Each structure stands twice: as C-alpha cells, then as structure tokens.
C-alpha cells in the first residue's frame, strides 16, 4: 500500500496562528458590545423584561391542554428560571434541557451569557422580514428566541420569541411605545394603528380618516368612486384609510408588510377590513357588480393582507376580477358597454376607422362570447360577453387575425380564394400595423377597381401596345417614377415605346444613352399618340371622367397606326 505523501511545511508554520472562520460568528464592535452588555445586565436584573404586557386571557398552567394554556405555562417556567438566574450550574443544565418550555430554555442561556461572558465574539441572527441583530449564543435554545430575548428593545425581533405561541392562536402587537399580548383575540392596542400607519412606506394625510395623494377626505369618508379605483382599509379602532392606486404602484417596499410585521402572527386581516372601491367606466350606478367578481376581489385582498400579493399588482388584480366576472355586453380595457352601445364602444377604441370596421365585421360573425387577453391569447366563452383587455384596435386584430382574417378580407374587400389566403399569410408574417395594412389594402383595391375601367387587359393587346398599357397601369398604381426603370430595360419595339414614354413624362435627359438610334427615332414619332393615350388614362382613372374611355380607345387606335401594330377594336 502506498504511503501518504509527507506533509509539506514552510518556515514559520509552527508559529503561525490558524484563523478558523465560523459561519454566523463575528467580532463584535465596541458599540455592539456596549449595547449587548446593557441588555444582558437589564435582563439579569429583571428576567421578565422581555415579556409582553398581558392584556388577554392566559389560561391556567395545565399540561392537559398545553396549546390553550401555552402562555400560562411559559410564564410559570419564566418565573422558575428567574429565581435561579444567579445559579450558573442550574442555568447550564436548563439551557440544554430538551424538554420543557422553549422560551425558558433560551432565557436560561441568555441569563448565563449575562453572568460575566466575553462579548467580543457574538453570533448574528438575520431574517429578511424581522431584521438582524447580534447576540450571545448559549445552550440549545432557538436562535430567534436567543436573539429576541437579548434584543428585547427591538420592536420586531422581540416578537419572534413568541412564534410558537402565535402558531397556537395567540396574538402579539409591538411598536415603539409598547409590546402587548392580547390572548386569542386579535385586538390592536391603543396607538398601535396610528404608529404602523405613520411608519409605513406610504405617506398619509388626516387623523381618524387618512388618505394618500390622489384622494381626499370626502372621497374616503363617502366611499366615492374614482377612475382608477382605491383601497379602503377600516381598522378595528375605527380608523379609516384610503390608498390610491398610484400610491400603491409607486411603493418600493411592501406597504402591507410594513404594517403586518408589527404583529405576531403577521396576519393584518385579523384587525382590518379591506375593500377595493371601483366600478368599470360606463357601469350603471343602480346596477350591482357581479357577486362572483366581488368574491374574487375579496380573495385577492385576503392574499394581499397575508403578503402573498404585491402592492403593484393589487389594483390590476382587483380590477381584472371584476371585469372578468361580467357576463354581458362589451368589456373593453376598464370600461363596460351594453350590447346596444356597440358603436360607442368602437368609437372609444384607439385606432383607425378601417381597424374599427374590421373589428365590427368580426363581431358580426361571432356567435358566442370571446375574451381577448392582452398577451394575445384568445378564449372562447359561453357567456354573451365580448372582452378586450386592450382598448387599442391593433393588438385585438393581431390576436383575432389568424381565425377571423378571412372574414374581413371576404366581407369588406370582396377578395376570395388563393389571393385572400396570400394576403392573410403575408400579414401574419409581416405583422404590419393594422391601420397601415388595411389602408394600403383599401387603396390597392381602389386602384384595381379603377384599372378595371380600361377597355383592354394588357395581355389582350399586341406588342408594343401591351407595353404601353402596362406602363399606364403601373403609373396609376405606383406613380410615374416607378415606371422609369421599366421603360429603359426593354428591347425591340418595346424599347422604342419606352423611349416614347420617357418623352411624354420629360424623363429622357439622363437616359438617352441607354437607347439605340433606331429606338429613339421610332419612339419619337410615337410620342403624340402615346401622350394622347396617357391624357385619356388620367381623365378616366384619376379624374373620374368615365366618358374618357372613348378617348382612350381612339388614342390606342392612333398609337397602333403610328407604330404599325396589329389592333382589334
């Protein structure tokens, strides 16, 4: 078997002190040592100094129903430990004893630490909700209990000593002016509500009735509706609080947490009633909101009071609960319209007239309810209600286009077959703004219908007459400039027609070199007839002079004669 390698040593290793870093242990500063020394001295002088003021029933110190009589048993054990506070041997045994009251176990360890312990090295307790503090760890008591007892002036940390009592159904309230136990009844002490509101992350005005920016005393007192809605809190001591949606959204830290962490257990709903005051715009004053929606709002508020819902999302969650419970009419954004007010609903949506016509067309084809979410997901529902979470036409059309695009193309623009499928697929891939897309489609169809006024199709004419007709169609549809490159890229007779076209529109200055002499000579002779053809086309297609069709026919016949082309009238 191979021998293990010899240990490598360096000069001075034997004299070097090894530093071992223990997690949760640190060297205490003079300030921390001074504070802990004072706290432990006060604790040794009065071992019950960390106990809350008793303002509730504590029961009898009986083991038959320990859960119900938990506080009585703890107080009895605290009294026993208190009497032995100078007996280090007894405290040493008690602080490691597995049986017995947990609070008393931590108290025994803390009292032993108070009996002349070295405070240069301390443990650190950290909790994201209750804060952090240094303490001296002695015995097997819970860290939170040791930290809470030795930092009994810390308004939040001291409540952790009583966590097991809170789990059994007992209540504690802590603030800068007191620490109170109210038994199994969650009754907020005098001054506690005012303290937590004053020290919350939101600024309030008023006394018995308090309100935030965006509200006033009259709104809160009379429970008046606002556009964005507001949160109403009524505490057991009759203090009423109104919080605007804007104030909730702007909080960096949790408002409900800043209140609830001053009580144990942190269930704020036990001492306050909450209500979201809001109705959709357009909802009749004499019409009650759906019971289902109000129940969902109450559920959201309950979760919020338990710190399971963020302040920022509270308003939208309450509003969505109400909107999604409405089973009739139109729900658009945060507004409601009766089924008879479809025109008003469309008029109030943000978008172009073409987009609104398209949505109206879709609504005509929907046989049941539909819910279009803001993330583009579409849900078909049985209720006779149309819900658009966005009040803008574009996102609604984007969501509905894959299923209802063909209805828009067929019913409004009268396009069918493969052409319709190509348009739908192109828009799905391109994802162009629907306002621009529908406008361009409308303009394109408008031009195509005008071009139908021409007496021939380009393919029905012989060359180069068909090229002249093609240039005219392209010019009407896309502008003269778009035809220049087409005019100069042809050969033979069509090159001559291209030269004539450039002459008609004064575009020959920089393109003469592209055309041979023969094409320029022929094209030059055709200019008067082609100009007459374009003038007739302008009257017929752009100026809506429908009788100009005869002028167009005459000009085409003239152009056929001068160009020597076959022509059949």
pLDDT of res. 282: 95
In the sheet with 178-183, reading across from the earlier edge strand, the strands are 53-54, 178-183, 171-175, 263-264
Q: How far apart are CA 378 and CA 50, in angstroms?
A: 59
- Residue range 293-311: mean pLDDT, rounded: 95
Instruction: Tell me, rounded to whole angstroms, the distance of Cα 50 from its chain centroid.
Output: 44
Residue 127 near residue 163 (C-beta atoms within 8 A): no
pLDDT of res. 334: 94
pLDDT of res. 304: 96
Between 135 and 447, name the one with better pLDDT.
135
Q: How far apart are CA 133 and CA 157, in angstroms?
A: 8
Please determine, for residue 405, whether its predicted confidence score (pLDDT) is greater than 50: yes
List pLDDT tens digits, range 206-225: 999 999 999 999 999 999 99
Residue 159 near residue 264 (C-beta atoms within 8 A): yes
Residue-range domain boundaries for the chain: 25-183, 192-325, 329-447, 453-563
CB-based contacts of 515, cutoff 8 Å, min separation 6: 488, 495, 498, 499, 523
- Residue range 89-118: mean pLDDT, rounded: 91
Please determine, for residue 5, whether its predicted confidence score (pLDDT) is greater than 90: no
Between 367 and 282, name the one with better pLDDT.
282
Confidence of residue 19 (pLDDT cuts 50, 70, 90): very low
pLDDT of res. 21: 45
The tokens for 391 are 């009040």
- Residue range 535-558: mean pLDDT, rounded: 88
Please determine, for residue 45, whether its predicted confidence score (pLDDT) is greater than 80: yes
Q: How far apart are CA 516 and CA 518, in angstroms?
A: 6
Please report the sign of the dihedral spanned by the C-alpha atoms of residue 286, residue 292, residue 294, residue 297: negative
Please determine, for residue 20, whether its predicted confidence score (pLDDT) is greater than 60: no
Confidence of residue 65 (pLDDT cuts 50, 70, 90): low
Peptide bond into 265 cis (omega under 30): yes
CB-based contacts of 215, cutoff 8 Å, min separation 6: 226, 230, 242, 243, 244
Q: How far apart are CA 27 and CA 33, in angstroms?
A: 10
Please determine, for residue 17, whether its predicted confidence score (pLDDT) is greater than 50: no
- Residue range 546-552: mean pLDDT, rounded: 88
- Any bridge partners for residue 102, and if so which? none
pLDDT of res. 66: 59
Residue 386 near residue 366 (C-beta atoms within 8 A): yes
Mean pLDDT of the chain: 88
- CA–CA distance from 144 to each of 50, 162, 293 (Å)? 13, 10, 42
Please determine, for residue 16, whether its predicted confidence score (pLDDT) is greater than 50: no
Residue 151 near residue 39 (C-beta atoms within 8 A): yes
Q: How far apart are CA 448 and CA 504, in angstroms?
A: 24
Confidence of residue 18 (pLDDT cuts 50, 70, 90): very low
Q: What angle do CA 262, 46, 40 make, to 5 degrees?
A: 75
pTM for the complete prediction?
A: 0.73
- CA–CA distance from 463 to each of 44, 287, 401, 469, 565 (Å)? 115, 74, 43, 10, 7
- Residue range 78-86: mean pLDDT, rounded: 95
Q: How far apart are CA 30 and CA 422, in angstroms?
A: 80
- Residue range 265-270: mean pLDDT, rounded: 96
């Amino acid at each position: 078997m191979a021998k293990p390698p010899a240990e490598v040593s360096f000069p001075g290793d034997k004299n070097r002190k090894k530093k071992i870093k223990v997690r949760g242990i640190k060297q205490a500063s003079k300030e921390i040592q001074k504070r802990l020394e004072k706290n432990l001295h006060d604790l040794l002088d009065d071992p019950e100094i960390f106990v809350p003021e008793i303002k509730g029933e504590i029961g009898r110190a009986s083991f038959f129903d320990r859960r119900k009589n938990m506080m009585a048993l703890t107080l009895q054990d605290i009294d026993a430990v208190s009497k032995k506070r100078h007996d280090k041997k007894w405290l040493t045994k008690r602080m490691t004893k597995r049986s017995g009251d947990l609070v008393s176990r931590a108290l025994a360890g803390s009292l032993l630490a108070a009996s002349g312990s070295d405070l240069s090295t301390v443990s650190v307790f950290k909790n994201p909700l209750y804060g952090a503090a240094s303490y001296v760890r002695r015995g097997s008591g819970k860290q939170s209990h040791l930290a809470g007892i030795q930092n009994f002036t810390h308004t939040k940390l001291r409540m952790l000593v009583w966590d097991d009592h809170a789990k059994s159904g007992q209540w504690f309230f802590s603030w800068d002016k007191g620490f109170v136990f109210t038994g199994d009844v969650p009754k907020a002490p005098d001054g506690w509500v005012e303290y937590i509101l004053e020290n919350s992350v939101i600024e309030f005005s008023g006394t018995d009735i308090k309100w935030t920016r965006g509200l006033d005393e009259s709104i809160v007192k009379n429970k008046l509706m606002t556009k964005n809605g507001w949160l109403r809190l009524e505490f057991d001591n009759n203090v009423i609080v109104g919080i605007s949606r804007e104030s909730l959204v702007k909080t960096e830290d949790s408002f409900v947490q800043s209140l609830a962490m001053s009580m144990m257990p942190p269930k704020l709903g036990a001492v306050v009633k909450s209500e979201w005051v809001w109705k959709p715009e357009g909802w009749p004053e004499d019409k009650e909101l759906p019971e289902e929606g109000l129940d969902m709002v109450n559920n959201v508020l309950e979760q919020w009071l338990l710190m399971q819902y963020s302040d920022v999302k509270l308003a939208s969650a309450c509003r969505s609960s109400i909107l999604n419970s409405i089973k009739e009419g139109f729900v658009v954004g945060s507004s409601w319209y009766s089924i008879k007010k479809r025109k008003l609903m469309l008029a109030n949506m943000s978008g172009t007239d073409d987009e609104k016509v398209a949505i109206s067309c879709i609504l005509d084809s929907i046989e049941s309810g539909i819910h279009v979410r803001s993330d583009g997901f579409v849900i078909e529902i049985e209720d006779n209600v149309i819900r658009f979470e966005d009040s803008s036409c574009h996102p609604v059309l984007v969501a509905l286009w894959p299923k209802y695009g063909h209805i828009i193309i067929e019913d409004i623009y009268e396009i069918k077959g493969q052409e319709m499928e190509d348009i739908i697929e192109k828009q799905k891939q391109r994802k162009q703004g629907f306002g621009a897309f529908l406008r361009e489609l409308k303009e394109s169809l408008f031009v195509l219908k005008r071009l139908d006024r021409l007496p021939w199709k380009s393919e029905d004419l012989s060359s180069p007459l068909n090229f002249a007709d093609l240039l005219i169609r392209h010019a009407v549809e896309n502008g003269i400039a778009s035809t220049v490159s087409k005019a100069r890229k042809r050969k033979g007779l069509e090159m001559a027609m291209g030269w004539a076209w450039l002459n008609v529109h004064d575009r020959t200055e920089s393109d003469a070199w592209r055309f041979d002499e023969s094409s320029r000579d022929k094209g030059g002779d055709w200019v008067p007839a082609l100009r007459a053809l374009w003038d007739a086309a302008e009257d017929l297609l752009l100026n809506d002079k429908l009788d100009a069709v005869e002028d167009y026919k005459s000009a085409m016949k003239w152009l056929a004669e001068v160009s020597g082309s076959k022509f059949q009238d």
